[in-house]
Amino acid sequence: MNKFERTKADKDGLDVWPALLKAAEEGWDTLDDADIMRLKWYGLYAHNTKDGHFMLRVKVTNGILTNDQARALAAMAQELGRDFIDCTTRQCVQVHWVKLADVPELFERLAAVGLTTSGACGDITRNIVGSTLAGLDADELVDGAATAEAIHEYFLDNHLYSNLPRKFKISIAGSPRGAARGYINCLSLFGAIHEDGTRGYNIHVGGGLSSAPRFARDIDLFVSPEETAEVVAAITGIYRDSEENRKQRGKARIKFLVDRLGTDGLRAQVVEQLGWDPRRAAQNMPTPDQGDHVGITEQRDGNVAVGLCVPVGRMSGAQFGELAELAARYGNGEVRLTHQQNALIPHVLKANLDALLAEPLVQQFTPEPQLFARAMQSCTGKEFCGLAKVHTKERAREIAQFLDSEVSPNGHGADLRIHFAGCSSSCAQQQIADIGIEGVLKKVDGEFIEAMDIRIGGRLHPEPHFGDVVVRKIPHWDLNATLVRIFDLYEERHTAGETFRDFTLRTEPAWWTEQLAPVGAAEGIDDDAESDED
């Protein structure tokens, strides 16, 4: 049994609550290392500076916030989090610079508006993500928001599922548009219509990124919305009870269970666990797209949703509060968060659209952003995260601004994606980006400097593919030039009407490596040197 499993066997992560309250009153040095790890079950991560400050992650089921909830988060960030909020790729909100002494008050304020951090981190079912326009999309097959809420409520504070081998991520997409990146989740529900006319979900299992990426696999199983919670619980229970997954932390995710059992083997275990045989997968399942919901989208009721581009997902608390104010003034008060770190105001009357678009905040977080500002996605990075090798947030913002000034859009594709990750843990999902940037360390003149690996060709459709690493350990000072070179090559070689993604479909990784090799050569660089990451 590894140390993490021993820690969880000694005390469940959800049972750290009394120690957390004690630390809030007496100081965080009252916590031992095991309890500091368990704080993740309540959404708390210590900053990498180890100075007593924490990041607090708040779950937002399906990314949907009421107006009261949005205002509460804005006020918390302003008053207790140095006035900034990060929107995440799992439709959550992260507040930094939190002190443990303030945690009881924060939790009381969250509970008062129906929000929670329980299960936001740790080896437990995480925030349920879903289509941003759930319940509103004209193309929707089933309302995934209702399903997400039912599953969230079932697992919330449920000790039956609070000690899993690793984290467990669930995606629900009732609509094919902007379908919550289901292929890279542990368990994914894709909207489908069964041959008998029932609207529900096909189930895929075993997606995930990091150092051993997998796409979720079809286990030939269809469920109605009413059956979903029971079947999801059965799959989660099979994963929980898999002792093989607990032997090695690096092979603990459910994707490795699917590797071992195969899809037929897993389905057989699900049927055995349930005691009844669900229907086979529906043939009518639209192919999910990778849309980001930025822009103006007509809802099925005739109103519109206005998707705003939030560069690298970061806003001030004051801006978040203003967003809530605009949502109340022009919509029904809801604020929705996307899986690409953006924000959306739904239920806007068309008659009010021009007035909303003229608002200063909407001019800043525009629904018509430049290509690379829209494309960029980033993790927290070295600013706060102890795993990150490089700084990401501001660097990513600068890269997007640089590319928008240096590269003229010419058929690149409106859904071009550039993801910048601080390490190999894949919080920025660099493997599924058209261009994925991953922070590493490189030895130059005997010292380690920030550097980056670059992947090209990641996508979730039309055929899912993880990006290939085409160049390694580019010194940070050569990154911008390398990215410009990539787009110059596209500009020189692509055919009429061929997007960047289509171009990468027909170009081999070796070609990119050959073309990019001269960029980044610098005296004193030891390409064979090992870094902490190696």
Mark out the alpha helices in 206-245 (DSSP H runs). Answer: 225-240
Tell me the pLDDT tens digit for each residue of 59-107: 999 999 999 999 999 999 999 999 989 999 999 999 999 999 999 999 9
Domains 134-274 and 373-516 share a fold: yes
pLDDT > 90 fraction of the chain, expressed in percent and rounded: 91
pLDDT at residue 533 in the model:
30
Tell me the pLDDT tens digit for each residue of 145-200: 999 999 999 999 999 999 999 999 999 999 988 889 999 999 999 999 999 999 99
Residue 189 — left, alpha, or beta (φ > 0 → left; ψ -120 to 50 → alpha)?
A: beta
> Which of 14-18, 49-53, 263-267, 304-308 has the lowest average pLDDT?
49-53
Q: Is the pLDDT of residue 462 over 90?
A: no
| CATH code matching the domain that covers 134-274, chosen among 3.30.413.10, 3.40.1190.20, 3.20.20.190, 3.40.50.2300 | 3.30.413.10
Q: Is the pLDDT of residue 521 over 60?
A: no
pLDDT at residue 518 in the model:
66
Tell me the pLDDT tens digit for each residue of 214-254: 999 999 999 999 999 999 999 999 999 999 999 999 999 99
> Which of 171-185, 337-351, 519-533 has the lowest average pLDDT?
519-533
Provide the CA 262 distance to its chain's centre, in angstroms: 26
Q: Please name the residues in contact with 78: beta carbons below 8 A apart, sequence gap of 6 or more.
A: 316, 317, 318, 321
The burial class, CB within 10 Å (0-12 / 13-18 / 19+), for 283 is exposed
Report the CATH architecture of 295-367: 2-Layer Sandwich (3.30)
Euclidean distance between CA atoms 185 and 180, whole angstroms: 9
The mean pLDDT of 271-287, rounded to a whole number, is 96
Helix (H) or strand (E) holding 281: none
pLDDT at residue 311 in the model:
96
Q: Which residue has the tokens 């110059």?
A: 488
Q: Is the pLDDT of residue 109 over 80?
A: yes
- Report residue 453's pLDDT band, with 50, 70 and 90 as the boundaries: very high
Euclidean distance between CA atoms 267 and 272, whole angstroms: 9
Euclidean distance between CA atoms 7 and 37, whole angstroms: 9
Euclidean distance between CA atoms 76 and 22, whole angstroms: 22
- For residue 315, the tally of other CB atoms under 10 A from its CB is 25
> Would you list the domain boundaries of the chain?
3-112, 134-274, 295-367, 373-516
The CATH number of the structural domain formed by 373-516 is: 3.30.413.10
CATH class label, 3-112: alpha beta
Euclidean distance between CA atoms 39 and 46, whole angstroms: 9
Q: Please name the residues in contact with 534: beta carbons below 8 A apart, sequence gap of 6 or more.
A: none
Euclidean distance between CA atoms 505 and 183, whole angstroms: 19
Beta-bridged to residue 173, according to DSSP, are 190
Query: Angle 10-15-19 (CA atoms, 0-180°, nearest 5)?
Result: 95
Cis peptide before 360 (omega within 30 of 0): no
DSSP 265: H
